[in-house]
Structure 1
Amino acid sequence: MASIVSLKTHDGRDISYVDEVKGQGGMKDVYFSPNRDYVVAFFRDKQDPGAKERLILIADKFRERIYSQEGGAYWKDLFCWPTAVVEHQGRLGVVAPFYNPNFFFAVGSRNGDSLGIKGREKEGKWFASAKNRNTFIDPKELGDWSSHLKIGLMIARAVRRLHAAGLAHSDLSYKNVLVDPSRGAACVIDIDGLVVPGKIPPLVAGTPDFIDPLVMMTQRLPLGDPQRVLPSIRTDQHALSVLIYMYLLYRHPLRGPKVHDVG
């Protein structure tokens, strides 16, 4: 049986987690709290010296900026925002709320959940493709076009709120936005990679299919080159447009057969 690890957050609060990896992202290992009311996600690789300071800003100052103002409670369902920063055995991590239950598959895939996805997170990729919808996902999970329209509205509101606070997500994709078409709900995750233009630089270029073409065109330029385009509010807007298009039309707006100019 896995042991319980207890430690203190950056602001002195006591937390604990079960010492068993329950999930893995591109950069982090995820552990559940004993009561499954929050998770602790540790970066697998050693972070640069400014990483802890950046994460504390996100968990404290920027979280306060979103939630403490009038109407702040509205955003709690639209973001899975880190609440604290921790360090343990040389690894840096963040504490974040557990996802709402409706963002886990209740039925899963067709034919008695043949893909074994019941209980897993509802990544948007399952719902943004006509093939996945028609071939794999159980109809009880699919919702309808109007619920997808509501999903697009929820994501747009969340992204607009980030931008209004001077922040950019930097990696919007169907991997970093959980959706529940049966209810028309959405939740933006991986907030620990936020970009503050001019202060906190982007950690990643983005996810394929959602990266702004200008980022791709200039990625070979040196990092300090003024012509190089980095993830920002502007590139978030590109990724948001792609996401909404895919949830409404079930295909990527820029993918398809090559058409040669005959003019």
Structure 2
Amino acid sequence: MSGTRTTNGMLEAGTRLTTERGEEITVRGLIGSGGQGEVYEVEGPAGPQALKWYFPQLADAQRWRILETLVDRSWGDDRFLWPRAIVAQQSLASFGYVMDLRPSRFHDLPALLRRDPAVSAATPRSLITTALNTVEAYLSLHAQGIAYRDISWGNVFFDPVNGDVLVCDNDNAVVEGESAGIAGTMNFMAPELVRRDPGAVPGIQSDLHSLAVLLFYLLMNHHPFDGALELRIHCMDEKAQRKLYGTEPLFVYDPHRTANRPVPGEQDTVIATWGVLPPVLRDLFVRTFTEGLNAPSRRVRESEWRDALSAVRDAIVPCGNCGKQNMAEPGGGAPECWKCRRPVGLPLRLELAAGKGSRRTRRDVRLNRGAELYAHHMAEDPERHDFTAVVGEVTAHPTAPGRLGLTNRSAGLWRLRRADGQELEVPPGRTAALRPGVFLELGDGVEGVVRES
């Protein structure tokens, strides 16, 4: 060991360690600490990386076995800072693991509640995209048969500009049915875990509750059970938390029980945000936080969140008066602008149908200026939404800005049929004029019809 000891850290700067793969890494400095250990920046053959080093009392055989399983999977999903290699040294009383560094463009979700200037670029579209990417990340994890067990706002980071996400602290994830020695973060835990019901263990079903709490925080800036009852608590100790989140949880917008409604003047943010949330998302929150509280099988699945969030993202429209983005109900009427309270005019919409036979997937995309079609719009059941894979873009006419068209950004030929029956070809780079009744063939059996709002 050499160098100067880092502030309050277990490892000194300059410490050289060796991974289980035989690669030497050097500690550069302390990044931060948490409930399980400390995270350091290290330098190795792969360049700068992060090292999580456990507190000695937590560095037991069970955690070592969990890490071995995770490292052996070598999962390359770019939405997860996955453990790459275990790091240990006989002269030290603990061990840890190496993972990729988190890029600086990613911020923690509590920054939204703090109104941190670093996330001021967040918009309704980027927040819905963040929610969608988060849901798809956990859907991918669960599809591997892995439960995360500690979904919370401390483990998901987001880019406020485009909604990209990174899931961190993945050393808590274990194969469904195995023990990890962790139940979660109290105010995100499923009620049966908070109550310590006999036989209740963390798993994918409890993850679904935690995921819904995370989504509510992300979109509402509030906890789903923190209403009037929370304000009456004088000391938020463990006993009070167990009652609020476990033994007597009550959703602030339970349609039948109103005792925990948010209090005007004290909890105005959630009142305002719930008021502008599209009904398709409200209904999912109501179901998971009423029926799903005591019946885990009634909790909203990741695929349901994915489909609803994707549809809401496609229905976001700008206010013609103040320019702010508004979430509209997919296929529904015009919302009132959340900012200026004026009615929002709805543009034309494109009814898309993808796939074959009677099970074709149908989507509506609002054709605002600058709106885009993506590769996932062309798929019957896309594995992942990729908002860099643009295949079409709503653009303005070069000499008549009020006239909009759909520009072909794909590599294939489109075919267009006007309402009067005239047929045209739309090669890559060319634009199809948008008028009600226009029918488009976009390739691979994907069809679209332009409709009035």
Q: TM-score, normalised by structure 1?
A: 0.76
Cα drift, residue 140 of structure 1: 5.9
Matched, 1:15 2:18: no
Cα drift, residue 260 of structure 1: 4.6
Cα drift, residue 12 of structure 1: 1.9
Q: What is the RMSD computed on CA atoms of the aligned residues? A: 2.1
- Which of 125, 150, 155 is the aligned partner of 2:110? 125
Q: TM-score, normalised by structure 2?
A: 0.45
Helix, strand or coil for the counterpart of 1:37?
strand
Q: Distance in 2 between matches of 1:183 and 1:27?
A: 31
Deviates more, 1:151-160 or 1:42-51: 42-51
- Which of 25, 35, 50 is the aligned partner of 2:62? 50
Instruction: Tell me which amino acid in the other structure corresponds to 2:226.
Output: R
Helix, strand or coil for the counterpart of 1:209?
helix
Q: Distance in 1 between matches of 2:15 and 2:38?
A: 15
CA deviation map 1:161-185 (0-9, x unaligned)? 1100000111111101111222212
Instruction: Tell me which amino acid in the other structure corresponds to 2:201.
Output: L
Q: Distance in 1 between matches of 2:100 and 2:175?
A: 22
Alignment partner, residue 80 of structure 2: 79
Q: Would the aligned equivalents of 2:176 and 2:203 in 1 still touch at CA under 8 Å?
A: yes
Matched, 1:102 2:114: no
Cα drift, residue 139 of structure 1: 7.3
Sequence identity of aligned pairs in percent?
27
Between structures 1 and 2, the one with greater helix share: 1
Q: Residues 198 and 50 (structure 1 numbering): CA distance in 2 closer, same or farther, change over 3 Å?
A: same
Q: Distance in 1 between matches of 2:212 and 2:101?
A: 27
Q: Would the aligned equivalents of 2:56 and 2:93 in 1 still touch at CA under 8 Å?
A: no
Matched, 1:213 2:191: yes
Unaligned runs of 5+ in 2: 5-12, 230-257, 261-453
Q: Would the aligned equivalents of 1:215 and 1:228 in 2 still touch at CA under 8 Å?
A: no
Q: Distance in 2 between matches of 1:91 and 1:9?
A: 13
Q: Would the aligned equivalents of 1:6 and 1:16 in 2 still touch at CA under 8 Å?
A: yes
CA deviation map 1:78-113 (0-9, x unaligned)? 11111000113121101111002211xxxxxxxxxx
Q: Residues 144 and 50 (structure 1 numbering): CA distance in 2 closer, same or farther, change over 3 Å?
A: same
Q: Would the aligned equivalents of 1:202 and 1:230 in 2 still touch at CA under 8 Å?
A: no
- Which of 125, 143, 154 is the aligned partner of 1:146? 125
Matched, 1:238 2:209: yes
Helix, strand or coil for the counterpart of 2:135?
helix
Instruction: Tell me which amino acid in the other structure corresponds to 2:81.
Output: C
Q: Give the greater-gyration-radius structure (CA).
A: 2
Q: Residues 190 and 260 (structure 1 numbering): CA distance in 2 closer, same or farther, change over 3 Å?
A: same
Q: Residues 140 and 241 (structure 1 numbering): CA distance in 2 closer, same or farther, change over 3 Å?
A: closer
Deviates more, 1:207-216 or 1:251-260: 251-260
Q: Distance in 2 between matches of 1:21 and 1:100?
A: 16
Matched, 1:196 2:171: no
CA deviation map 1:23-47 (0-9, x unaligned)? 1011111111148720111101232
Cα drift, residue 13 of structure 1: 2.2
CA deviation map 1:199-258 (0-9, x unaligned)? 3x1232211321111101126xxxxxxx23121111111111111122112221111112
Helix, strand or coil for the counterpart of 1:156?
helix
Unaligned runs of 5+ in 1: 68-74, 104-121, 220-226
Instruction: Tell me which amino acid in the other structure corresponds to 1:217.
Output: R
Q: Residues 140 and 157 (structure 1 numbering): CA distance in 2 closer, same or farther, change over 3 Å?
A: closer
Give the length in aligned residue pairs: 217
Q: Residues 140 and 125 (structure 1 numbering): CA distance in 2 closer, same or farther, change over 3 Å?
A: closer
Q: Would the aligned equivalents of 1:59 and 1:82 in 2 still touch at CA under 8 Å?
A: yes
Q: Distance in 1 between matches of 2:31 and 2:130?
A: 27
Q: Distance in 2 between matches of 1:140 and 1:260?
A: 34
Helix, strand or coil for the counterpart of 2:161?
coil
Q: Residues 32 and 252 (structure 1 numbering): CA distance in 2 closer, same or farther, change over 3 Å?
A: same
Q: Would the aligned equivalents of 2:177 and 2:203 in 1 still touch at CA under 8 Å?
A: no
Q: Would the aligned equivalents of 1:27 and 1:45 in 2 still touch at CA under 8 Å?
A: no
Alignment partner, residue 35 of structure 2: 26
Dislocated runs of 4+, deviation >6 Å? none
Q: Residues 5 and 154 (structure 1 numbering): CA distance in 2 closer, same or farther, change over 3 Å?
A: same
Q: Distance in 2 between matches of 1:81 and 1:139?
A: 25
Higher relative contact order (CA 8 A, sep 6+): 1
Matched, 1:91 2:76: no
Deviates more, 1:172-181 or 1:252-261: 252-261
Instruction: Tell me which amino acid in the other structure corresponds to 1:25.
Output: G
Q: Residues 228 and 5 (structure 1 numbering): CA distance in 2 closer, same or farther, change over 3 Å?
A: same
Q: Residues 251 and 43 (structure 1 numbering): CA distance in 2 closer, same or farther, change over 3 Å?
A: same
